[in-house]
Amino acid sequence: MRARLLEATVELLVERGFAGTSTTLVSDRAGVSRGAQLHHFPTKNDLVVAAVEHLTERRGAELAEAVAHLPAGGRRTRAVVEMLGDHFSSPVFAAALELWVAARTDEALLAAVGPLEQRVGREAHRMTVAALGVDESRPGVRELVQATLDLVRGLGLASTITDDSARRRRILREWADVLDRELEKELDA
Amino acid sequence: MRARLLEATVELLVERGFAGTSTTLVSDRAGVSRGAQLHHFPTKNDLVVAAVEHLTERRGAELAEAVAHLPAGGRRTRAVVEMLGDHFSSPVFAAALELWVAARTDEALLAAVGPLEQRVGREAHRMTVAALGVDESRPGVRELVQATLDLVRGLGLASTITDDSARRRRILREWADVLDRELEKELDA
């Protein structure tokens, strides 16, 4: 029942945005009684934060699993970067973006979203370092990994109002080639 | 009077978000009668789109002016990239982000925001090419310029809920060095 509520919440965030998502709409869509919903999640903020956390973790785990099965060598960097680009342009990103933007002007929501974003950000960073197989103790490597994640976040934002996939693909291919040149010393090590 | 209405709208978008911005709040803050406001901007959508357009153009012109006065050589790329980073982390970016995210789930708003974002995006691209003094006909250059703009957009998004300026500075310095290496052939030409 908890999972049904969380999935319904993310769907509504994607379809109607933060302002258009109400606890009543969520319980209707999930087919869960208001009482049961309030037992699990007393407020809208509890619900939306738990929903984005749940989906982000599930998608993050799927992504880590997919990355673990990528072949080594040649086109690995390109594949990692493209998978990150797709991940940050998915409906889960749109739901997270709704929460993020709402939290900017809502102190109570920010108190919950801030720590969540930090945790998610650290996890994405750790996973990307592992996927690229790079050594962060070398100068500049940490910044390039962070830049990669900020780039896909920027591309994700662009993709929310237009279909930006062809442009995204071209940019990420070029970016992967740049990363390979810059990280060459690491990959050879 | 038009300018006062537009400035008040951007202030409210920054402080209260899209959902928290009403035409009544705008006319109160601008000190403009409801009738006069409705004459200039019949709907909330007219008002918010005109406001973000107005401020984006003004800030874009300021940025272009500042970039035109940068010294050539050595640290120019770093300066350009840092100015872009600051620009995309300013309150005007927060106001534009509110509009952008609201448009994702509001068809009428999207019809106005879509073309505005395209125009603003093209202008930012053109200005960045000029500021970096690069030749876009060379392979990969166009994508690196676009990646730079998507990167600062991603960093701008990160800056909306935490003070991210120290991290942003480190990333953009590293990225400027990478850009210089990648574009070296262009700058030498």
pLDDT in tens, B31-62: 999 999 999 999 999 999 999 889 888 888 88
Q: What is the pLDDT of residues A82-133, one digit of tens each?
A: 999 999 999 989 999 999 999 999 999 999 999 999 888 999 999 999 999 8
- For residue range B68-85, list pLDDT tens digits in order: 888 777 689 999 999 999
B131-189 pLDDT tens trace: 998 999 999 999 999 999 999 999 999 999 888 899 999 999 999 999 999 988 444 54
* Closest to B83 in 3D by CA, of B60, B50, B109: B60
Q: Is residue B18 part of a domain?
A: no
Per the domain annotation, does B44 fall within a domain? no
Number of domains in chain A: 1
B84 lies in some domain: yes
Q: Which helix (H) or strand (E) holds A114?
A: helix A107-132
- pLDDT value, residue B71: 77
Q: Which chain A residues touch B15 with a CB distance below 8 Å?
A: 105
Find the closest chain B residue to A156 by CA distance.
B154
On whether residue A5 sits in a domain, the answer given is no
Is A22 within a domain? no
**Residue A175 to chain B, least CA–CA distance (Å):** 7
Q: Is B46 on the interface with A (CB under 8 A)?
A: no
The count of other CB atoms within 10 Å of the CB of residue B74 is 9
Which chain B residues have a beta carbon less than 8 Å from that of A110? 161
Asked if residue B15 is part of any domain, the answer here is: no
Is the confidence at residue B19, as pLDDT, over 70? yes
DSSP characters for A24-60? HHHHHHHT--HHHHHHH-SSHHHHHHHHHHHHHHHHH
In terms of residues, how long is chain A?
189
Examine residue A181 and state whether it is found in any structural domain, yes or no. yes
Q: Write the burial class of residue A170 (CB in 10 Å: 0-12 exposed, 13-18 middle, 19+ buried).
A: middle
Closest partner residue to B151 (CB to CB) among A103, A154, A160 is A154
Interface predicted TM-score (ipTM) of this complex, two decimals: 0.92
Instruction: Provide the pLDDT for residue A186.
Output: 47
Q: Quick check: is B162 in a domain? A: yes
Domain residues for the domain of B127 are 55-188
In B, residues 88-117, which contact A (CB 8 Å cutoff)? 94, 97-98, 100-106, 110, 113-114, 117
Residue B189 has a pLDDT of 46
CB under 8 Å to A54, separation ≥6 — which residues? A3, A6
Instruction: Count how many Cα atoms sit within 13 Å of the Cα of residue B165 in the half-sphere of its side chain.
Output: 6
A121-177 per-position pLDDT tens digit: 999 999 999 999 899 999 999 999 999 999 999 999 999 988 889 999 999 999 999
Distance separating alpha carbons of residues A25 and A10, to the nearest angstrom: 12
CB contact under 8 A, A160 and B104: yes
Chain B closest-CA separation from residue A66 CA (Å):
24
